[in-house]
Structure 1
Amino acid sequence: MEIKIIRNQKQYEVYLKRLKNIFDAQKGSPELEEFDLLSMVLEKYEEENFPIENCHPLDAIRFMMAQNEIDESRLAQF
């Protein structure tokens, strides 16, 4: 597969599907090099098109608690 800079969502999805297909590539194989290249271009596209804002660690914990329906009293059990 010829790997180019991702320019659109369709190309992104094709590359992502290919990455999933070669996820278990063996060390030293051509697929492992392809995996590395795909990872790099996918990461660049995701950083530009799906940015994730930094958040305070407590906000992340509160979000996960809400998503998992865990209140503070239940969290204290852990």
Structure 2
Amino acid sequence: MENIRPIKTEADYDWAIAEITRYFDDEPAVGSPEADRFDVLAALIEAYEAKHYPIEETDPVDAIVAHMEMANLDRAALVRLLGSASRASEILTRKRALTMDMAFKINREWHIPAEVLIHPYHLANDGKETAAG
């Protein structure tokens, strides 16, 4: 077992992943030196991934569309949820921003995380982008 070192390169990253993976099958006892080593490796890996592999924030409209596809829901399902065909269409075409009430309904009924639904996004506005939210 090598000493822990900073993760500066992909080779260092691969090493850290290999080191931490060993703990998945043989979980260390809480409070043990191995558990501390696991925690330090996890923190180093998380920091390296955040810097080199950032995850973009999910766009609310993209999240709704993805959920509809995964759950095999059609546009009519969104119409029923929001109560208006024109409102559902305007949301999906980015001509109208989600209101808090809409976000609440979508969160409650479809279980899309509220933090995704309230994230600011751009509306289509005659070729100009306008922030929503």
Assess same fold via TM > 0.5.
Answer: yes
Q: TM-score, normalised by structure 1?
A: 0.74
Superposition map of 1:26-41 within 5 A: 26-41=29-44
Gaps of 5+ in 1: none
Aligned residue for 2:6? 5
Q: TM-score, normalised to structure 2's length?
A: 0.47
Which AA in structure 1 matches 2:7? I
1:49 maps to a residue whose letter is: H
RMSD: 2.2
Q: Where has structure 1 moved over 4 Å in runs of 4 or more?
A: none
Structure of larger gyration radius: 2
- Equivalenced residues, count: 73
The answer for unaligned runs of 5 or more in structure 2 is 78-109, 111-133
Aligned equivalents of 2:66, 2:34: Cα separation in 1:
38
| Percentage of matched positions with identical amino acids | 32
Change (3 A) 1:72 1:49: same
Partner deviation per Cα, 1:2-32 (whole Å, 9 max, x = no partner): 2122011111011111111013111122110
More strand by share: 2
Structure 2 counterpart of 1:52:
55
